[in-house]
């Protein structure tokens, strides 16, 4: 638990950023002024990969995105497949099967790309975070606090654990977001766990509390160049559809909760501060259609997010993807956003 390392990184800028082209595949185009809010606009969306296959593997169930060191995109399926996508067209160019140490499939949810070409992948089953080589070989497994493990080993609920995974600027601190609260913690208070990296190994570090909006969980987090976080909050109501909100969160001044057994609204515990950037139901629909009821036909089960371009003025290009769960009533859809932070 070394919060000083995390706080130091929050003030550090990202020395270099990978830039991707703005052109996209088939889908509706929109000018940047198509605003979802004063901070977020949507350029376009694409359904081009919906219900497709590549090299015999279904292209869907996408739960995370990351920019690789060669500028391509990595797209993670929660059915244990990792795709490489062309940054311009989003078309798959390679796929690798991921497994655990015994060769079993992973319920893979979070993805972070390291500068050495390896990838960190979280699974929400145990939960776990593993480091994989480019060919999918397991190289390492990170420690996980006992309380964050699924009951009866810990206090987490199955399929409600590590969803988001991101490296803070500098690549020396990793952060994973729990999707929902632990048993014994207040409803809507989820834990963000960090690890510090030293000589290639990750050790447990500070932990923080994050409060979601009522009924929502956290499917994804992504660090901004200044060390803040883009946080997706998501929920689903049958007959109504999805709620998806994008927040900007700040770890500075938040309390390290790794030594706090139960988070029940204690006055001395300062949660991560958050600011609403946009409710995606307020975006223009751009002619999108939905296969099930939605408050906006543009929406679906949005679960993955990465920053594809960034500059020093706080303007980001952000790519989102929805997880279709291989369900005919859902869509694999990519969303190209512009975000001002």
pLDDT value of position 20:
31
Q: What is the pLDDT of residue 217?
A: 98
* 7 compared with 229, residue with greater pLDDT: 229
Cβ atoms of 20 and 308 closer than 8 Å: yes
pLDDT at 314: 84
The contacts of residue 325 (CB under 8 Å, 6+ apart) are 60, 61, 301
CA distances from 229 to 76, 113, 296 (A): 20, 17, 25
Q: Render 284-316 in DSSP notation, one character per residue.
A: --TT---SS--SSTT---EEEEEEEEE-TTSEE
Q: What is the pLDDT of residue 311?
A: 84
What pLDDT digit, counting tens, does each position of 291-311 carry? 999 999 999 999 999 999 988
Q: Identify which of 255, 218, 185, 195 has the alpha carbon closest to the alpha carbon of residue 109.
A: 218
pLDDT tens digits for 86-143?
999 999 999 999 999 999 999 999 999 999 999 999 999 999 999 999 999 999 999 9
Render pLDDT for 242-295 as a digit per residue (tens, 0 to 9).
999 999 999 999 999 999 999 999 999 999 999 999 999 999 999 999 999 999
Share of the chain above pLDDT 90, in %: 87
Q: What pLDDT sits at residue 15?
A: 33
Residues 270/255, Cβ–Cβ less than 8 Å: yes
Rounded to the nearest angstrom, the gap between the alpha carbon of residue 173 and the centroid of all alpha carbons in its chain is 16
Calculate the average pLDDT of the chain: 91
Mean pLDDT of 161-187: 97
pLDDT for 60: 98
What pLDDT score does 313 carry?
80
3-state helix, strand, coil in the chain (%, to 5): 5, 45, 50
Residue 196 has pLDDT above 60, yes or no: yes
Asked if residue 59 has pLDDT above 70, the reply is: yes
DSSP lists the bridge partners of residue 178 as: 162
Q: Residue 15 burial (CB < 10 Å; 0-12/13-18/19+)? A: exposed
Determine contact, residues 337/320, Cβ cutoff 8 Å. yes
The mean pLDDT of 209-232, rounded to a whole number, is: 97
pLDDT confidence bin for 18, thresholds 50/70/90: very low
Q: Are 207 and 194 in contact (CB under 8 A)?
A: yes
Q: Which two tokens stand for residue 184?
A: 């014994």
d(CA 305, CA 65): 6
Site of tokens 């950037």: 277
Q: What is the percent of the chain where pLDDT is above 70?
A: 91
Question: Which segment, 29-43, 47-61, 307-321, is predicted with the most confidence on average?
Answer: 47-61
Residue entry with tokens 């099967």: 97
* The pLDDT of residue 29: 43
Q: How many CB atoms lie within 10 A of CB 163?
A: 29
What pLDDT, on the 0 to 100 scale, is given for residue 312? 77
Place of tokens 């859809």: 333
SS3 147: helix
The pLDDT, as a whole number, for residue 2 is 39
Q: State the Cα–Cα distance between residues 122 and 107, nearest whole angstrom.
A: 8
> Distance between CA atoms of 305 and 234, rounded to whole angstroms?
13
Phi first, then psi, for residue 293 (nearest 5°) are -55, 135
Tell me the pLDDT tens digit for each residue of 21-40: 333 333 444 445 799 999 99
For 75, 158, 160, 215, 322, the CA distances from 327, given in Å and listed in that order, are: 18, 21, 20, 23, 12
**Long-range contacts from 197-202, C-beta under 8 angstroms, 24+ separation:** 197/171, 197/172, 197/173, 198/172, 201/140, 202/129, 202/140, 202/142, 202/143, 202/174
């Amino acid at each position: 638990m070394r919060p000083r390392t995390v706080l130091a990184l929050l003030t550090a800028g990202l020395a270099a950023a990978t830039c991707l082209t703005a052109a996209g595949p088939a889908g509706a185009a929109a000018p940047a002024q198509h605003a979802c809010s004063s901070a977020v606009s949507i350029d376009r969306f694409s359904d081009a990969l919906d219900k497709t296959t590549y090299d015999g593997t279904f292209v869907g169930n996408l739960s995370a995105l990351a920019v690789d060191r060669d500028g391509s995109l990595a797209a993670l399926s929660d059915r244990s497949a990792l795709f490489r996508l062309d940054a311009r067209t989003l078309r798959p160019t390679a796929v690798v099967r991921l497994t655990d140490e015994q060769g079993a499939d992973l319920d893979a949810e979070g993805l972070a790309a390291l500068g050495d070409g390896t990838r960190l992948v979280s699974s929400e089953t145990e939960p776990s975070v593993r480091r994989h080589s480019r060919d999918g070989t397991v190289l390492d497994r990170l420690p996980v606090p006992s309380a964050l493990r699924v009951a009866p080993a810990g206090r987490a609920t199955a399929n409600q654990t590590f969803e988001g995974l991101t490296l803070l600027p500098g690549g020396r601190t990793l952060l994973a977001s729990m999707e929902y609260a632990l048993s014994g913690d207040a409803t809507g208070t989820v834990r963000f766990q960090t690890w510090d990296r030293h000589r290639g190994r990750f050790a447990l570090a500070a932990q923080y509390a994050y409060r979601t909006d009522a009924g929502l969980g956290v499917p994804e987090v992504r660090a901004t160049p200044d060390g803040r976080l883009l946080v997706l909050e998501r929920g689903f109501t049958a007959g109504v559809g999805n709620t998806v909100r994008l927040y900007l969160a700040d770890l500075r001044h938040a309390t390290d909760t790794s030594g706090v057994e139960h988070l029940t609204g204690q006055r001395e515990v300062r949660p991560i501060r958050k600011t609403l950037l946009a409710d995606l139901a307020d975006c223009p629909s751009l002619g999108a259609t939905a296969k099930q009821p939605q408050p906006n036909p543009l929406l679906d089960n949005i679960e993955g997010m990465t920053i594809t371009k960034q500059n020093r003025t706080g303007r980001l290009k952000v790519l989102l993807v929805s997880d279709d769960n291989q369900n005919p009533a859902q869509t694999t859809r990519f969303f190209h956003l512009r975000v001002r932070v």
